[in-house]
Structure 1
Amino acid sequence: MNATKVIFSLLLLLTVSSCAKFLDVKPLESISDAVTITDQNSALTALRGVYSALASGDYYGTSFQSIGYLSGDNVQWTGSQSQVQEFINHKVNADNSTIASVWIAIYRTINRANNVLAKVPTVTDPALTTDLKNQYLGEAYFIRALAYFDLARTFGGVPLITSPTVKPTDNVGVKRSSQAETYAQALRDLETAESLLPATTDRYRATRKTVWALKARYYLYQNEWAKAEEQATKLISETTNYQLLKPFSAFFASDARGTAESVFELFYNGTTEVNNHRNQWQAQTNGGTRQWAPNDALVTLLTTPATGGTRSTLIAKDNQNRWYGNLYYRNPASDPSYIIRIAELYLIRAEARAQQDKLSGSLADLNAVRDRAGLATTTAATKDAALLAIENERRVEFALEPHRWFDLVRTDRAKDVLNVTDSKRYLLPIPVQQLLSDPTLEQNPGY
């Protein structure tokens, strides 16, 4: 079997043999948070459970992603549920059902990772070689790092749980760490993952390269520009494995998946693994609900050649002449969730270089992304102009991906762009259910 042609499904991971073979596995619903790990097969099953939790509808399947773009300025809500409008209005309440489900989904992911991390080291099955054991542990550390990174940028400081939870009351009384401490936990996990994972290229499973990509994002959020540039360069320099594809739609259109554009994406097969994200975006004539849709400002940006270029393929019109998002379109619902694309690494490096007054290099990276989208080179000629151009480019490049809100918060631009004058609103409230179940948890200021 030609391994380059194999698509590594979350629930169809590789066996130990040198020839890549698919496994027959149970549906993801049957994978427990506390699956017994006694040998190589059960270790792999438990690791599948970690990826499945990451891909769940309340995490990267839909809900967590929706926080990133509903809270920005690209999307309008066409439905009637007021809790969704709260993100657009930047007045999210502690009883909001989305933040409640996201909190639970992320901690479920962490718990499954903790289960792998606690039990895999004790397994003595000869089939679970040292290299495989290190790989499984590295993948669990990476996913836990991503989970804590997402918690930190969404809620601020949270309870840091690093051991498996068996009973709901196990972690009652664990106080919130600070946001800085939560980010530090994510970095510790990334450092450990990097030491364990192979330096291979895999679009669907964490490798050392996936760690480099997330570290680039992490350092960008921490304003550690030189480190962000360094990590991004590691991926960008691998031109054989990672490329900005032309046209823009090449990474998602025509059922594409796992392209050279992708650093890390989540696989769904539409049957046992379903990405229901499409239902929120697609028009009713395509079997969706179009409950959120591109707003007028985004439509203008995408359909204006000077700003959208070939990225206009992100949206389409239905039979009533209404615009809808078209990044998620497959039926059955098997669209990937795109967690890290190489375009992000270019724009991370562009921003990091601009912040270090490396203007020519910054503009070169920005123009690489613009050229892929069919745009002329930027007219920015100063540091401030370059940073604004990068911010605007990120808005359009990731129009339907979960970056806009977090970008404006980390740069303290939400007050100017979104008129969010109360900086306490930069963090979302701790879900009220969590506060009621654990009196030691403290609510974020302003809620």
Structure 2
Amino acid sequence: MKTNKIITLLLSLLVLASCEDYLDLTPISEETSENAYETASQIESALIGAYESFQSAEYYVWDNILFQDVRSDNNYAGGDNPEIFAIDFLEITPTHSRLYKNWSNIYNAISKANIVLERVDDVTDPLLTEARKREIKGEAYFLRSYHYFTLVKSWGAVPLITSTIKSTSPESVQIPRTSIEKIYQQITSDLELAATLLPDVYGDDSSINKARATAGAAYALAAKAYAQQPNPDYDKVLSHIQKVESSAANYTLIPFENLFDGNNYNNAESIIEIQYLGGNEGNFGPQLLLPPSISGDSWRKFVTPSHDLINAFDAQGDDIRKNASVLFEEVQWVDEYWGNASGSSIPFSYKWKQASGWASSNRQYILRYGDIVLLKAEALNELNQLEAAATEVNRIRNRVNLPDLTDAQKSSKDVLKQTILNERRLELVQEGQRWDDLARYNQLVSTMNNLVEIDLRDGSTVNYNMTEDKIFLPIPQQELDRNPSLTLPPL
């Protein structure tokens, strides 16, 4: 428990750090040198630095919502940023600045995890027990896997770097892309190992159990990876979810309204979440999304819920999730989709509830059990266990006062598959999942090209021109310029 107290103290003192380029050899902290990791506190600090990337990397703050929800059919760009409009209209080019920022941030996070994995066994401090070393390794493997999962879903074949880069020679830094299949193999093998190294819980303190990787988190992420890989293995998806559900962490569904009210952090449904505390460790995302009555400012906000999303809620009579996810308010700006006149009532993304002047304590879930329940339904359906799959979907529906699925909604494997996809949309909007779900279901091209959205300024229909080539993001131009190996076919 002494180690847990150290971790908690370090978490409470952590401040947001600047983001380095992933090939930048500048030390991650002032202690990063050949003899830096000699004590228990030093390697624990390095691990906390690896977790810190969830707060400092802009992708995990709110760009995941842009590239998952705004890029899909869930949200319009809103705001006034041309690069976010480009995301909305699927016109993302290699020079888009957010690509390079996110690529760099995520690879920097991987570098931090690699350092921990390389150095932990060299620490001889008696305060660092062998049991704790195992946990640290498991946490670092989980973190590295999570970041590679983000990369492979976003860019497909990318460089696979599993050790720290110690030289600036071309052969050291011009790393070619690795195939999507091999990256998923690395992710799942690392997570299988991590699950054997990690405990179900670290004790009775939920602020520790939900802040750090656990065996349940490793099994849950592995289940998602086995489903998302090019050839899904639904037997392994199901077996890993069963391990999540048998965990001593006792994950369970809680009332949906409580998930996002800002008063139930580290709850029983949370598997792992970003530990925003507010103030210097605050989340700036809510200020960008919430309406004037909450944010206290009057400029046009981003991530506007789409007509298609609102229609999906209304078609199900899903008032509980709709009201927890969307808030309508009259505004003084003109919105080209909801009201081409000042004073129109438009929807705002509302799973974050407090803006707090760019320093909110509102959090994002890294993994939560509701997502895993619906993934279990997906796996059961793919394994031709339709009734069992419907039972899992009904668990999610019943907690928001929706009736069990009708016979029509589960009449065949294909029908139930679409029903589950629709349920995931309503459950997980604004949680950075929609693009991946559509990709996994092979429905990105059809969904975006069949989407009917009317620009009220001229009455025209938006043409998204979606193609298979747009499923993955382009590699950032800055990386292509300095690493000619990225233009080669993946290994």
TM-score, normalised on structure 2? 0.82
Does residue 413 in structure 1 map to residue 443 in structure 2? yes
1:37 aligns with 2:48: no
Please say if residues 90 and 466 of structure 2, whose CA atoms lie closer than 8 Å, have aligned partners that are also in contact: no
* Alpha-carbon distance in structure 1 between the residues aligned to 2:353 and 2:489: 37
The SS at the match of 1:360 is helix
Alpha-carbon shift at residue 365 of structure 1 (Å): 0.4
Secondary structure of the 2:348 match is strand
Tell me, yes or no, if the aligned pair for 1:57 and 1:63 is still in contact at 8 Å.
Answer: no
Partner of 1:9 in structure 2?
none
1:334 corresponds to 2:361: yes
One-letter code aligned to 1:435:
L
Q: 2:190 — aligned with what?
A: 189
Q: Residue 232 of structure 1 contacts residue 349 of structure 1 at CA under 8 Å; is this kept in 2? A: yes
Cα distance, 1:18 vs. partner? 8.0
Q: Secondary structure at 1:94's aligned position in 2?
A: coil
Q: Aligned partners of 2:293 and 2:431: how far apart in 1? A: 23
Rounded to whole Å, the distance in 1 between the matches of 2:282 and 2:165 is: 27
Which one is further off, 255-264 or 24-33? 24-33
RMSD: 2.4
Q: Give the superposition deviation at 1:285.
A: 3.4
Q: CA shift at 1:272, angstroms?
A: 2.7
Residues 301 and 396, structure 1, Cα contact 8 Å, conserved in 2: yes
Deviation, structure 1 residue 172:
2.1
Instruction: Give secondary structure in 2 for the equivalent of 1:430.
Output: coil
Aligned to 1:10: none
Q: 1:360 aligns to what?
A: 387
Given the alignment of the two structures, is residue 384 of structure 1 paired with residue 414 of structure 2, yes or no? yes
Cα drift, residue 85 of structure 1: 1.8
* Contact 1:236 1:345 survives alignment (8 Å): no
> Is the 2:57–2:106 contact (alpha carbons within 8 Å) kept by the matching residues of 1?
no
Q: Which residue of 2 aligns with 1:68?
A: 68
Partner of 2:178: 177
| d(CA) in 2 for partners of 1:316, 1:243 | 27
The percent identity for this pair of structures is 28
3-state SS in 1 of match to 2:239? helix
The 3 A distance-change label for structure 1 pair 239 and 361 is: farther
Residues 38 and 123, structure 1, Cα contact 8 Å, conserved in 2:
yes
Pick from 299, 308, 322 the counterpart of residue 310 of structure 2. Answer: 299
Post-superposition CA distance 1:373-413 (Å, at most 9, x none): 21111122221111010000011111111111111112211
**1:402 maps to 2:441:** no
Q: In 2 relative to 1, CA 18–434 (structure 1 residues): closer, same or farther, beyond 3 Å?
A: closer
Partner residue in 2 for 1:207: 214
User: 1-side partners of 2:6 and 2:111: how far apart?
Assistant: 32
CA shift at 1:237, angstroms? 4.4
After TM superposition, list the pairs within 5 Å mapping 1:75-90 onto structure 2.
Answer: 75-90=75-90
Equivalent residue runs for 1:106-121 within 5 Å: 106-121=106-121
- Are 1:95 and 1:432, in contact at CA under 8 Å, matched by a contact in 2? yes
Q: Secondary structure at the match of 1:322?
A: strand
The yes-or-no answer on 1:226 pairing with 2:227 is no
Is 1:22 the equivalent of 2:17?
Answer: no
Other structure's SS at 1:418 match = helix
The corresponding residue for 1:146 is 146
- CA distance in structure 2 between the aligned counterparts of 1:162 and 1:443, rounded to whole angstroms: 20
Question: Does the CA contact (< 8 Å) of 2:18 and 2:56 recur in 1?
Answer: no
- The one-letter amino acid paired with 1:70 is V
Indicate whether 1:428 and 2:473 are aligned.
yes
The answer to whether residue 278 in structure 2 is matched with residue 270 in structure 1 is: yes
1:52 corresponds in structure 2 to 52
Aligned letter for 1:217? K
CA drift at 1:187: 1.5
For residues 289 and 386 of structure 2, the distance between their equivalents in structure 1, rounded to whole angstroms, comes to 38
Shift of 1:239: 9.0
Q: 1:322: Cα distance to partner?
A: 2.3
Counterpart in 1 of 2:398? 371
Q: What 5-or-longer segments of structure 1 have no aligned partner?
A: 1-13
User: Are 2:68 and 2:436, in contact at CA under 8 Å, matched by a contact in 1?
Assistant: yes
Q: Provide the rounded CA distance (Å) in 1 between the counterparts of 2:137 and 2:197.
A: 7
Q: 414-423 or 68-77, which moves further after superposition?
A: 414-423
Does the Cα contact within 8 Å between 1:232 and 1:345 map onto a contact in 2? yes
Q: Distance in 1 between matches of 2:17 and 2:468?
A: 39
Number of residues paired by the alignment?
431
- The answer on whether the counterparts of 2:138 and 2:195 sit within 8 Å (CA) in structure 1 is yes
Q: CA deviation at 1:21?
A: 6.1
The letter for the 2-side match of 1:226 is D
Partner of 2:260: 252
Mapped to 2, the partners of 1:231 and 1:416 lie a distance apart of: 31
Check conservation: 2:381, 2:389, Cα contact below 8 A.
yes
Match of 2:224 in 1: 217
Cross-structure match for 2:205: none
After the TM superposition, which of the residue ranges 281-290 and 204-213 deviates more from structure 2? 281-290
The answer to whether the 8 A contact 1:268-1:334 is kept is yes
User: 1:188-224: CA deviations, max 9, x gaps?
Assistant: 2212212221222721110111101001101111311
Tell whether the 8 Å contact from 1:71 to 1:90 is kept in structure 2 after alignment: yes
Distance 1:280 1:442 in 2: 36
Mapped contact 1:148–1:182 kept (Cα < 8 A): yes
Report deviation, 1:444: 8.7
Q: 1:149-171 CA deviation, whole Å, 9 max, x = no partner?
A: 11111101111111123566674
Moved more, 93-102 or 231-240: 231-240
Q: CA deviation at 1:293?
A: 1.3
Partners of 1:318 and 1:117 in 2: CA distance: 49
Question: Counterpart of 2:17 in 1: which secondary structure?
Answer: helix
